[in-house]
Amino acid sequence: MMRQFELVERVGSYDPQADEDALNRAYVFAMKMHGSQLRASGDPYFSHPVEVAGILTDYKLDSASIITALLHDTIEDTPATLEEIEKLFGPQVARLVDGVTKLTRIELTSDSAKQAENFRKLLLAMSEDIRVLLVKLADRLHNMRTLHYIKKPEKRQRIAAETMEIYAPLAERIGMDAWKMELEDRAFAELHPDARESIMTRLKYLREQGGDLVTRILDELNKVLKENGLDSVELSGREKTPYSIWRKMQMKDVAFEQLSDIMAFRVIVDSVEDCYRALGVIHGSYPMVPGRFKDYISTPKPNGYKSLHTGIIGPEKHRIEVQIRTRQMHEIAELGVAAHWSYKQGSSPNMEGRQYRWLRELLEILEHASGPEEFLEHTKLEMFQDQVFCFTPKGDLIALPSGACPVDFAYAVHTQVGDTCVGAKVNGRMVPLRTVLKNGDQVDVITSKAQTPSPEWERFVATGKARARIRRFIRSQARAQYVELGRQLLQRTFKHEGYDLTEKGLEGVLRRFKADSVEDLHAIVGEGTHTAQEVLTAVYPGVKQSRIENVVQFFRRKRSHPSPAEHRPMDREPKAVGIGALHIKGLIPGMAVHYARCCHPLPGDRIVGIVTTGRGVTIHTIDCDQLEQFSDEPERWLDLAWEGESGARTHIGRVKMVVANEPGTLGTLSTVIAKNLGNITNLKILNRTTDFFDMLMDIEVRDVKHLTNIIAALRANAAVNTVERARQ
Ligand code: MN
């Protein structure tokens, strides 16, 4: 284990401004906190954070990163708290340690390898600071180096699979090539020990057969390049890693015996022009292997990697891979994000690619930053900041656009879940459906079979899927209403004029109204494209327009816009009603219950309760605008649902309507309502002109379905222009 003074000296050797005092304190703090804890290897646990810190010093990271590495397991595994760390080491280190701890927690809760791609994105999105990710990757690297000490084979396998699926690609993504290769190779050794063993044996055999083949090839390549005027090239050669050979075997479905391409050579030159010159020389001297040339200089990899790659039948007729790059490209390839240190003196390399803008910004900041601290502090990971990643209660990961709410989440899980969603818990707490989700939130969607999508949702959903479903539902619902309304309008009109309404009669005029079916014709009449009277005259030519139809026509044209009414309270406001706990699920026993007067919830409505000090619980419909004011107080929300049959108990439903101002209208309305077993308890005229009444009506009903039936019956009445449930 590295001693305290060694670690501090190492940091000091590349960063003279390093905070030695803080480094010393962090070393001692972590040692104390981990105390007598042991690793699976039998070593003191404390050796692990020290090794992780050591790995990071190889990349010359700033003291905040090194301190974070020393402290990275203290919150999760020791009595230390974040407050304590903040007090001792300042807010920056506290933020970094908190970031690493969060990544560790997510790792523990999720069967992550299942959804590797999403999980990688989540880790990137949560690592707001690049240093968090660097510490996490170094942590994983050390855990992989000591993996063989873990006794249980299943645990070793799980960790190795996770490393292969998630951490190695992450290391590649931020350009940490050496880490990526080591992580891959160690995971490979655990997951496929036999395959790795046989590849190693074969490599050994080839090595023995060929003598010092790599050296001979290097010498010849060097000679060829020099002869063609490329004097200052740097050449190196190596065998590929067992894992990269194995992957090639899998991808190309070739046996190892046929796989001759096991050596890779690297040519490092001074300039981009020399890269292409060297390529020309090599292609001119040896046969090319078709399909192996790749120009990553003109089209860099997403992580900023640049090089020319080619495959040739090289010296002694060996198939080899050759990579050609400049020194700068090489350092970025080798060190990834850590490469910036090398550029402190020189010019910053020109990083292309929008996706890795942060990497470019990082290098730009470097140029102007005075020291490593400032430099790294400004380095934020921007990738995937436009996305948010949340968990289902089972630990599945759902990726959503940022700004998404529980309704989006519900639709992303399953259309059915979205359609029947009534509420949501985020991290165990009931929240409004419009709550914006955050990275790592666990979302538990509450559904009810009786529910349907609400038009209100459209105002706050962020995903196209949710919006499309809600619209589709509204359309289909509206269509059903238009069909029913049209059917009733036709019945009424035909009866009123004394004619028979038959399917056959309607079928005969379908074409005239561009209708595909009788139902379609009903809808056309219901939505007002054509009137029932027009249909009547089509079926029975020569019928005169009736008076009622004229009135309806009049209102349709007018689409009345009543002037805003003066706000007189209704004479008899509905009283607060105590409800037996029998009918509402989720109530706290013994608490007084009131129905909100803004939205008049009815059985069948989606509802929530708001706890009011001294008044008990007020029940609102879940789409009530008044709920907005409680959105910051999730603790006051109660998840409620109607339960069982509403029985004999009645509730007040409030409707707003516009009706014809003519004798007998009110009588007709009360007849329609009475026929449908509703009881008018209150009526308020908001506005009255020569043509229409604009009014509010309170009706005693059993539940929302009952009220919906009454509304449908009112709509079918010719004297009613519009009718809808009143809000506010
Ligand atoms: Mn650790």
Predicted confidence at residue 661, as pLDDT, reads 79
Hey, is 38 helix, strand or coil?
strand
Hey, is 693 helix, strand or coil?
strand
Instruction: Kindly calculate the radius of gyration of the chain based on its CA atoms and give it in whole angstroms.
Output: 37
CA nearest to 293, candidates 304, 281, 272, 307 = 307
Distance (Å, whole) CA 686 – CA 363? 67
**CA-based angle 16:21:24, to the nearest 5?**
105
Residue 140 alpha carbon to ligand 1 centre in Å: 7
Respond yes or no: is residue 76 known to be catalytic: yes
CA nearest to 624, candidates 641, 604, 652, 605 = 605
Residue 430 alpha carbon to ligand 1 centre in Å: 34
The residue to which tokens 């029998």 are assigned: 582
Residue 612 alpha carbon to ligand 1 centre in Å: 46
Predicted confidence at residue 315, as pLDDT, reads 85
Residue 441 alpha carbon to ligand 1 centre in Å: 23
Task: Provide the mean pLDDT of the chain.
Answer: 78
What average pLDDT does range 470-485 have in this prediction? 79
What average pLDDT does range 109-137 have in this prediction? 69
Highest mean pLDDT out of 96-105, 126-135, 169-178, 391-400:
96-105
Predicted confidence at residue 148, as pLDDT, reads 92
Where does 15-113 have alpha helices with state H? Answer: 20-34, 47-57, 63-71, 74-77, 82-109
- In the predicted model, is pLDDT for residue 355 greater than 70? no
pLDDT grade, residue 566 (50/70/90)? Answer: very low
**CA-based angle 629:451:524, to the nearest 5?**
105
Residue 393 alpha carbon to ligand 1 centre in Å: 26
From 9, 20, 43, 76, the catalytic residue: 76
- In the predicted model, is pLDDT for residue 250 greater than 90? no
Predicted confidence at residue 588, as pLDDT, reads 63
Predicted confidence at residue 220, as pLDDT, reads 92
Q: Where are the domains of the chain?
A: 4-191, 198-340, 385-462, 473-539, 651-725
Distance (Å, whole) CA 69 – CA 139? 8
Express each pLDDT in 301-321 by its tens digit. Answer: 766 678 999 988 888 888 888
Express each pLDDT in 282-299 by its tens digit. Answer: 999 998 888 788 898 888
For residue 210, give every residue at least 6 positions away whose Cβ sits within 8 Å of its Cβ, in sequence order, or none. Answer: none
Express each pLDDT in 64-92 by its tens digit. Answer: 899 999 999 999 889 999 999 999 999 98
Largest distance between two CA atoms of the chain: 111
Residue 51 alpha carbon to ligand 1 centre in Å: 10
Q: What is the pTM for the complete model shown?
A: 0.54
**566 contacts 696 by C-beta, under 8 angstroms:** no
Q: Which fold has domain 4-191?
A: Hypothetical protein af1432 (1.10.3210)
Strands 319-326 and 308-313, bridge-based pairing = antiparallel
Residue 143 alpha carbon to ligand 1 centre in Å: 7
Distance (Å, whole) CA 485 – CA 39? 75
Express each pLDDT in 712-727 by its tens digit. Answer: 888 888 788 888 888 7
* Tokens, residue 512: 């005239």
Respond yes or no: is residue 352 known to be catalytic: no
Express each pLDDT in 335-351 by its tens digit. Answer: 665 544 333 323 333 33
More confident residue, 112 or 411: 411
CATH value of 385-462 in 3.10.20.30, 3.90.850.10, 2.40.10.500, 3.20.20.140? 3.10.20.30
From 77, 396, 520, 691, the catalytic residue: 77
Residue 356 alpha carbon to ligand 1 centre in Å: 28
Distance (Å, whole) CA 268 – CA 275? 8
For residue 106, give every residue at least 6 positions away whose Cβ sits within 8 Å of its Cβ, in sequence order, or none. Answer: 112, 122, 123, 126, 440
Residue 164 alpha carbon to ligand 1 centre in Å: 18
| DSSP code at position 288 | B
The residue to which tokens 């009454």 are assigned: 710
- In the predicted model, is pLDDT for residue 51 greater than 80? yes
Residue 114 alpha carbon to ligand 1 centre in Å: 22
More confident residue, 683 or 76: 76
CA nearest to 337, candidates 305, 298, 294, 296 = 305
Q: In 10 A of CB 689, how many CB atoms?
A: 11
Q: 651-725 architecture in CATH? A: 2-Layer Sandwich (3.30)
Q: What percent of the chain lies above the pLDDT cut of 70?
A: 80
Element (H, E) at 265: strand 263-269
**256 contacts 278 by C-beta, under 8 angstroms:** no
What average pLDDT does range 504-525 have in this prediction? 89
Burial 141-167 (b: 16+ CB within 10 A, else e): bbbbebbeebeeeeebebbbbbbbbbb
Express each pLDDT in 364-385 by its tens digit. Answer: 444 444 444 444 443 444 444 5
Predicted confidence at residue 281, as pLDDT, reads 92
CATH value of 198-340 in 3.30.43.10, 3.30.460.10, 2.40.30.10, 3.40.1190.20? 3.30.460.10
Express each pLDDT in 167-214 by its tens digit. Answer: 888 887 777 778 999 999 999 999 988 888 888 887 887 777 777 788
